[in-house]
């Protein structure tokens, strides 16, 4: 891929996300997401390997289905209300379909199966792009319609994401798959609190992006893709290995690291909303 085409691709990804975030119309938001999806496909398929081609196909099919669901949901809502406005999503069926399509877009449980596979088939830099930048647009849309989504749906998907993210990462030796399950887990926290305090959900996802970015960049710098690689880098670059270890502990929400702060605030909010059982489950 030439530098000029790469510039166009990255510009399209940026414009797509900004378009979705700043639009008040479902059609414009959908166009932004489509532009975003089509622009990232050449980046995923850049390594000329079978795994990269497979990852590109999986990513494209999943995102295309999610986009179709999104369009179906907004169209049904327009039939009912005669309005394309994002904040006017009043139909319950439309809201449920929209919530599911956005969860599929960002890779939250129970529609998370594509994320670990896609990350495993791409480079570390592309994996970073998928786990951080590609989540911004769907999370923003979910934030905008959070008042209309039934809390039961969000909480159920959130708890499921936490459980699957936590258990799925245990038996992994591949760092990219571990980071994928970490992403699913963090999305679980974000989706759960989205029903009660959307601003706190945004803070949680922003903290996650800030913590994940250096992890991927350091892994790419050291060319570490498995836990075995990471254990041997101790002798050559001790500072980076230690930094990755501390950042991973922070991502998992261990006190006294930064990642613990949003989780503590989320638990506090759940308890103050009389959802003690939910807070216990989250822990």
Q: What digits encode the pLDDT tens for the residues 10-53?
A: 999 999 999 999 999 999 999 999 999 999 999 999 998 999 99
Identify the CA nearest to 94 among candidates 70, 120, 110, 59: 70
Quickly state the pLDDT bin for 90 (edges 50, 70, 90): confident
Q: What percent of the chain has pLDDT over 90?
A: 75
Greater confidence (1 vs 101) lies with: 101
Quickly state the pLDDT bin for 165 (edges 50, 70, 90): very high
- Residue 230, pLDDT score: 84
- Residue 282, pLDDT score: 63
Mean pLDDT of 227-255: 88
Quickly state the pLDDT bin for 274 (edges 50, 70, 90): confident
Write out the H or E segment, with its range, that includes residue 177: helix 175-194
- Residue 74, pLDDT score: 94
Identify the CA nearest to 107 among candidates 190, 194, 10, 170: 190
Res. 256: pLDDT tops 80 = yes
pTM for the structure as a whole: 0.93
CA distance 158 to 154: 6
In DSSP notation, 150-165 reads -HHHHHHHHHHHHHHH
């Amino acid at each position: 891929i030439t530098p000029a085409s790469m510039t166009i691709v990255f510009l399209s990804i940026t414009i797509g996300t900004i378009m979705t975030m700043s639009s008040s119309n479902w059609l414009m938001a959908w166009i932004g997401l489509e532009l975003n999806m089509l622009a990232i496909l050449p980046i995923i398929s850049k390594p000329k390997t079978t795994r990269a081609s497979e990852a590109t196909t999986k990513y494209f099919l999943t995102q295309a289905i999610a986009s179709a669901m999104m369009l179906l949901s907004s169209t049904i809502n327009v039939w009912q209300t005669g309005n394309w406005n994002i904040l006017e999503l009043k139909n319950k069926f439309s809201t449920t379909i929209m919530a599911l399509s956005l969860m599929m877009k960002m890779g939250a449980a129970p529609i998370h199966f594509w994320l670990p596979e896609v990350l495993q088939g791409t480079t570390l830099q592309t994996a970073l792009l998928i786990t951080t930048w590609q989540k911004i647009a769907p999370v923003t849309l979910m934030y905008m319609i959070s008042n209309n989504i039934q809390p039961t749906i969000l909480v159920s998907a959130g708890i499921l994401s936490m459980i699957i993210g936590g258990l799925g990462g245990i038996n992994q030796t591949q760092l990219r798959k571990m980071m994928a399950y970490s992403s699913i887990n963090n999305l679980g926290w974000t989706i759960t609190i989205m029903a009660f305090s959307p601003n706190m959900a945004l803070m949680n996802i922003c903290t996650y992006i800030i913590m994940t970015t250096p992890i991927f960049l350091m892994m790419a710098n050291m060319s570490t893709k498995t836990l075995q690689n990471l254990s041997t880098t101790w002798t050559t670059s001790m500072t980076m290995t230690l930094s990755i270890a501390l950042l991973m502990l922070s991502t998992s929400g261990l006190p006294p690291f930064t990642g613990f702060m949003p989780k503590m605030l989320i638990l506090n909010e759940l308890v103050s909303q009389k959802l003690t059982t939910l807070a216990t489950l989250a822990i």
